[in-house]
Structure 1
Amino acid sequence: MMSLLCITVISLTLAGRAVSETTSPYSILRVKAELGGNITLPCSLLPDSSIFGSFKVKWIKVGADETLNEDVLMSMGLHKRTYGSFEGRIFLQELDNHDASLVINDVSMEDMGKYRCEIMDGVEDVIQDVILEVENGLSGGVVFPYSPPIGRYNLNFDDAVQACADQGAEVASFEQLFAAWKSGLDWCNAGWLSDGTVQYPITKPREPCGGSNNKPGLRSYGRRNKQMNRFDVFCYVPDLKGHFYWLVQPERLTFDEAVQACINDNAEIATVSQMFAAWKLEAYDRCDAGWLADGSIRYPISRPRKNCSPTEAAVRFIGFPNKNVKSYGVYCFKAEQQE
């Protein structure tokens, strides 16, 4: 019978570091990596395990349900195969005959999530789950663009401050927007920053966004008149202090019905900042459009797929529909209980 090695001290790989939360053989381990660095996801057998011939190793990235699971690596003896975006940057560590740990190079924000290691020898399968967190230089926070229900470019500076506050956030600083750009934020609408400048981040240069011949970077309009000029805003939220979730309902809801449904579930309707935080910091993924507190309809996709944001991980924005329509569900939020 095979059993997993209880890991309390894990060797690091370059920029990555691993942290074990418990020593239970079947526990979920949690590891943290720096954006662009390397990390080892631990999985191993006890040294005294009896192994008769080669064993099979399978790594998958676990989705919201089994139909969304993503193959990462398969290994059987000398035969190994990697899949999708992992090709060319992952391999088994194989420090010894019992080691099935997975090394990921050039870690991206899209790599964040839960992984499952399965070791199979034809007699008994061994399973280890590992949650990968990716630090993006924002000290755990997230920057997101915001425009009001009346449309884009309608906020002076004071309005921008209030718009972020209404979402439980604050106006982002230049440093926070720069870190978000480094982690992949691309947005072609200019927004206020906390220093009174107006800028926007471009990772994929193109004509409508400062020109296709310019390099990637932050496009700046400089300091603008805080009362006269109107733009969007970039907000920043440092963390997610509570539980963000899709509320399962038998029918679609109007906005008022959505608000009440969350209250009936001992929660409140979620804000835009809570959706962005859950998406970016917890890899929340749901292909259902739902009401948020500002009257907008959005849904978060961390694993791009057909019909659900096929080309990129993103919080998809549907718009600000008539609040009396019954075409959408709702996202709710339960705050952490203060002791």
Structure 2
Amino acid sequence: MLFKHTLSFRTATCLVLAFALSATSIPTNVDKGSRKVVHVLEDDTGAVIVQTAPGKVLTHRGGSITLPCRYHHERESSDPNRIRVKWTKVTDALVFEDVFVALGLQQRVFGSYRGRVSLEQNGPGDASIIIHNITLEDYGRYECEVTNDMEDDTGFVNLDLEGVVFPYYPRVGRYKLNYHQAERVCREQDAILASHAQLHKAWLEGLDWCNAGWLEDGSVQYPISHPRDQCGRKDTPAGVRNYGYRHKEDERYDAFCFTSNLNGKVYFLKRFKKVNYAEAVKACVRDGSVVAKVGQLYAAWKIQLMDRCEAGWLEDASIRYPIVNPRIRCGGPDPGVRHLGFPDLKFRIYGVYCFRKNEESVKAEMVNPTHHSGKKDRITPMNTTTISDI
């Protein structure tokens, strides 16, 4: 395995993602989670046309981000209090998850977004929302819909996260997971199933893995940077190999997981002697921590540049260690998280990697515990005036 280290709205007229301004641009810092550059133009008729800069809105877990959405309406013919702004997340084809809705001064936030989402309210025509304390599950495609008594229009924003993709298989062996089990094991390792875009980006950065794994859309794929006969023939080009969409219940593969910025710290627990798995768990607890998960070790390696040439237990009872600066005695010429397998829990002894949450993360969880909202089919908007119905 090798690791080498769009916001797009459609062009539209009238009720659509716009400032009622002449041509201008707003520079921002995307890496810090700010808004993209927005260019606003007027055509010969005076209708507003909006084009957003290419790319995606980019942030990381634990950060805050603005999902930009601007609209223009004729004030003479529209009552501002009758304009409804609705944000949904596209979770599947024709399936949407409610995020936020506002009608005049009335607002409502749904599901896991409660306590984390608010309108930016940066002047007339601003339908942008701010999402705080970004989670892995927030990754994806969002729809901004603006409706008045006569018309409605929509635009889309893609929310991307900085992070790392890693292949995963459990202690029971390779090709043992159906789709739902793959979803679960990724969550158990502080991650989610990776998207095709995330896996493709990881391949571009050098990820090479010869075993096929589930992705979040139900497809099965694997990245090959160095073609060889045991991985689909040596004479085939490098790329992300795709098995297509597979039966989620009956077929079994590995998983490709994605994780982002840590809300805490992974560290190698310094001890005078090595320990078995049960002793490793107790040692981390005595140190005020827990045994680190696989996703947490990958995030520490990729994002915090953790480099430790000592094998240690992780929460899933595997033995791994992170290498940023390769050297011969530490597993070869390439950076990556080394995996030594799943040894006997009782009789094999190693060090241990622990994880301790940030105090801010602990406080945030106490104030805003995670809610899990269900998915529902999209509902056709209706003109209403009560917050209970919008």
How far off its partner does 1:190 sit? 0.3
The two structures have a TM-score, normalised by structure 1, of 0.59
Change in Cα spacing, 1:148 to 1:326, as seen in structure 2 (3 Å) is closer
Q: 2:312 aligns with which of 280, 283, 290?
A: 290
> Is the counterpart of residue 306 in structure 1 residue 334 in structure 2?
no
Tell me the amino acid that sits aligned with residue 161 of structure 1.
E
| Structure 2: gaps (5+ residues) | 1-29, 33-158, 364-390
Is 1:267 paired with 2:289?
yes
Partner of 1:329: 351
Match of 2:339 among 306, 317, 321: 317
1:229 to 251, 261, 283: 251
State the one-letter code of the partner of 2:231: C
Structure 2 vs 1, CA of residues 138 and 145 (structure 1 numbering), >3 Å: closer, same or farther? farther
For the Cα contact (< 8 Å) 2:223–2:240, is it kept in 1? yes
Is 1:147 aligned to 2:169, yes or no?
yes
For the residue of structure 2 that corresponds to 1:262, the secondary structure is helix
1:326, distance to aligned residue in structure 2 (A): 4.4
**In 1, distance between residues paired with 2:255 and 2:31?**
36
Q: Is the 8 A contact 1:153 1:230 kept in 2?
A: yes
Matched, 1:186 2:208: yes
Distance 1:303 1:138 in 2: 28
In structure 2, what is the Cα distance between the partners aligned to 1:140 and 1:194? Answer: 17
**Is 1:245 paired with 2:267?**
yes
Match 1:164 to one of 186, 190, 207: 186
| 1:175 has 2:197 as partner | yes
Q: Secondary structure at the match of 2:356?
A: strand
Counterpart residue type for residue 233 of structure 1: A
Q: Which has the larger radius of gyration?
A: 2
Task: Kindly state the Cα deviation for residue 325 of structure 1 after the two structures are TM-superposed.
Answer: 2.0
Residue pair 2:277, 2:349 contacting (<8 A) in 1 also: no
What SS does the corresponding residue of 1:319 show, helix, strand or coil?
A: coil
Separation in structure 2 between the aligned mates of residue 18 and residue 240 of structure 1, nearest angstrom: 17
The runs of 5 or more residues in structure 1 that have no matched partner are 1-16, 20-136
CA contact (8 A) 1:154 1:231 kept: yes
Matching of residues 131-142 of structure 1 within 5 Å: 139-142=161-164
Deviations 1:136-177 (A, max 9, x none): x97321110000100000000011011101111110011111
Higher normalized contact order (CA 8 Å, seq sep 6+, divided by chain length): 2
User: Structure 2: how far apart are the matches of 1:264 and 1:196?
Assistant: 41
- Identity of paired residues, percent? 48
Query: In the aligned structure 2, how far is the partner of 1:220 from the partner of 1:18?
Result: 31
Shift of 1:213: 1.4
Q: Pairwise CA RMSD of aligned residues?
A: 2.0
Distance 1:171 1:18, change over 3 A: closer
Misfit runs of 4+, over 4 Å: none
Q: After TM superposition, give the deviation of residue 18 of structure 1 in Å.
A: 11
CA contact (8 A) 1:253 1:325 kept: no
Q: How far apart, CA to CA, are the structure 2 residues paired with 1:280 and 1:160?
A: 22
Tell me, what secondary structure is at the counterpart of 1:219?
strand
Distance in 2 between the 1:18 and 1:223 partners? 33
Deviations 1:58-101 (A, max 9, x none): xxxxxxxxxxxxxxxxxxxxxxxxxxxxxxxxxxxxxxxxxxxx
Which whole-Å CA distance do the structure 2 matches of 1:164 and 1:314 have between them? 19
> What TM-score do you get using the length of structure 2 for normalisation?
0.51
Tell me how many residue pairs correspond in the alignment. Answer: 207
Whichever residue aligns with residue 267 of structure 1, its letter is S
What's the secondary structure of 2:278's corresponding residue? helix
